[in-house]
A and B are shown apart, each in its own frame.
Chain A
Amino acid sequence: MKKSNDREVATPHLAEEWVGKVYTFICILFLIITIFSMVYFVASKGLSTFIVNGVSVKDLLTGLKWKPDSDTPLFGALPFIFGSFSTSILAAIIAAPLGFCAAVFMVELSPKIGRTFMQPVIELLAGIPSVVYGFVGLSVIVPLFRDIFPGQGVGIAAGSLVLAFMILPTITTIATDALASLPSGLKEGSYALGATRWQTIYRIVLPTTLPAQMTGIVLGIARAFGEALAVQMVIGNAPHIPHSLFESTSTLTSAITLSMGNTAMGSVQNNALWSLALILMMMTFVFVFIIRWLEGRKKL
């Protein structure tokens, strides 16, 4: 290109730059507005239980009895909070070692089988709709637990097993990425010192990738925490803290899905459900902060 063209080019050049900046900025602005309006609407709905209906925050968070329709309504959401935490954490406890093993297999033992077979299957697992998981859980896991264990098969155990399947892809993918991105020098150094493969995995690979592994686990817990339809079908939905893993109980999400449609907007019963949604949303923030903190550690 000749030098003399420079001036002619300059104007469209600048305009072009401007278009790019404005366009991408509008996109990001849209994202930010979306999230802020979401927080605003859910919060304003969820807080009206306390402000308009006069339910105390402490009662909601620590109350054990959920009786929105009795003559003296009680809104104790502790059983739901307990249910959500116990199912999602138990799901992670089941899924984490499985995901780690699968990742080790795919990265260290047999990358070929891993790439051509395990990975596609695990990706497919991520694409199965939660409705289908719930239905399979109700048709397979619940009857199985009913036959083996005392109780009716529904409960935290069934819920967390279904959830474990659902979060396995998340945990495995992140674990695989973490293992694969490990500098090969580290492993080779360990092998050169005469360490066996297991010693290397156990002493070198696991400790160095631990923050990343934890990130995967927390992400998994966050997903499990917010899952609604599948859990609702297998957990039993009694608003009580259960005495065993095989007794019917509820989670925040299952309580919301069960009653949201049946209650009229603006009624205290409905507002209380929005408060549950608010708790759910706050927990999302907590999980994201934990993940951030973990990722900060990874960089060190």
Chain B
Amino acid sequence: MKVWKGNLLKMKKSLIVTMALTLSLSLAACGNNTNNGANNGNAAATNNASTNNTASADLSGSILASGSTALQPLVDQVSKEFMDKNSGVSIQVQGGGSGTGLTQVSEGQAQIGNSDVFAEEKLDAAKAAELVDHQVAVVAMAAVTNKDVGVDNLTKQQLVDIFTGKITNWKDVGGKDEKIQIVNRPSSSGTRATFEKFALGTKTEDLAGSIQEDASGTVKKLVSETPGAIGYLALSYLDDSVTSLKYEGVDANEDNVAKGTYPVWAYEHMYTKGEPDAATKAFLDYMVSEEVQNGDVVELGYIPASKMEVKRDAAGAVTK
């Protein structure tokens, strides 16, 4: 009899422990969830109960910035500095791609959507109109080749011919006798959209035999190792392992981009839905402050938006 009761008790105990565990877990989830919800809806007024507010914390809230993997390192870096200064704010930076970022900000799951392209190019007009654009930096791209091809300049027409498959050997553009191997990006990529729009001026098809990689690191590795390879990379990824080409005789560097003589560049956007709340606004302001623009932005290989002498709208029209 006693044995029975004892065992029953034991069983109950273990059951209770399991239940308590599950319960506390789901409770933690719910608790945080409501918190997030409140922060999403309300402005910075909601005080996140879970952040320990001290000293300089007159700002509070939690911000989720998701999207472009090209912009992620910059936002990540800046968010760390911003959080050091405003301990009440917690910022999460996620990758996922420009499309994901725009979707999430448009549906209210993220406060900021990072994108390599204008929202109009990914979302339908009605959704894009709700979003407010914050251009925080400029990223420029250069065509790069394997070091063995012996070419250091290509004209627009030559690039078009290469990427549409009309020219298939480097000797036709003044290099050595070697087959051209294209290392492209997938057709959904923002980098590819920029390159096609401003370097080629035309959309291209995916040629048979071309390689497509989305990640800059992989593209660089493939271009540097594959004989006769051509691809394109953001300036921040350029190094000695590949040759970067001049475009129509113009060097791909910061000054030429700022002056508007080198056209292959695009804005990095941080979209908010409607006007941002106080914490988000403070973060975006910090993003375009002199301190960040001349510090992290330059250090990470982007070009400060403030330095640009030319401007460009969503349709691609350039103004001085």
Contact = CB atoms under 8 A, between A and B. Distances in A.
Interface of A: 1, 5, 8-9, 12, 16, 19, 66-71, 138, 142-143, 146, 151-154, 233, 236-240, 242-243, 247-248, 250, 258-267, 269-270
B212 A262 contact: no
A70 B96 CA distance: 23
Given A138-B218, A247-B208, 7 more contacts: A19-B15, A68-B187, A69-B187, A152-B211, A237-B212, A262-B214, A265-B100
Nearest to A258: B186
A258 B212 contact: yes
A70 B123 CA distance: 16
Given A68-B187, A143-B225, A262 B99 contact: yes
23 contacts: A1-B1, A8-B1, A12-B4, A12-B8, A66-B206, A67-B187, A69-B203, A138-B221, A143-B225, A154-B211, A238-B209, A240-B207, A243-B208, A248-B209, A248-B210, A258-B214, A259-B188, A261-B98, A261-B99, A263-B97, A263-B188, A264-B99, A267-B99
B96 to A, nearest CB: 5
B103 interface: yes
Nearest to A1: B1
Interface in B196-218: 203, 205-214, 218
A70 B97 contact: no
B181 interface: yes
A157 to B, nearest CB: 14
Max chain B C-beta neighbours (<10 A), residue from A67, A69, A153: A69
A239 B207 CA distance: 8
Contact of A264 (B102, B208, B209): B102
Contacts of A151: 209
A242 B210 CA distance: 10
A9 B229 CA distance: 80
Contacts of B134: none
B188 A258 contact: yes
B186 A242 contact: no
B213 A262 contact: no
B4 A9 contact: yes
A69 B184 CA distance: 15
A69 B211 contact: no
A266 B213 CA distance: 24
A102 to B, nearest CB: 32
Interface residues of B, number: 42
B190 interface: yes
Interface string B87-99: 0000000011111
A262 B186 contact: yes
Nearest to A143: B225
B11 interface: yes
A153 B207 contact: no
B206 A263 contact: no
Nearest to B189: A262
B278 to A, nearest CB: 28
Given A262-B188, A269-B188, A152 B208 contact: no
Contacts of B100: 260-261, 264-265
A239 B103 contact: no
A239 B208 CA distance: 7
Contact of A259 (B8, B124, B186): B186
A247 B208 CA distance: 8
Contact of A237 (B203, B211, B229): B211
Nearest to A265: B103
B246 interface: no
Contacts of A68: 187-188
B134 to A, nearest CB: 19
Nearest to A69: B187
B122 interface: yes
Contacts of A142: 225
B226 interface: yes
A144 B251 CA distance: 35
B179 to A, nearest CB: 9
B64 to A, nearest CB: 16
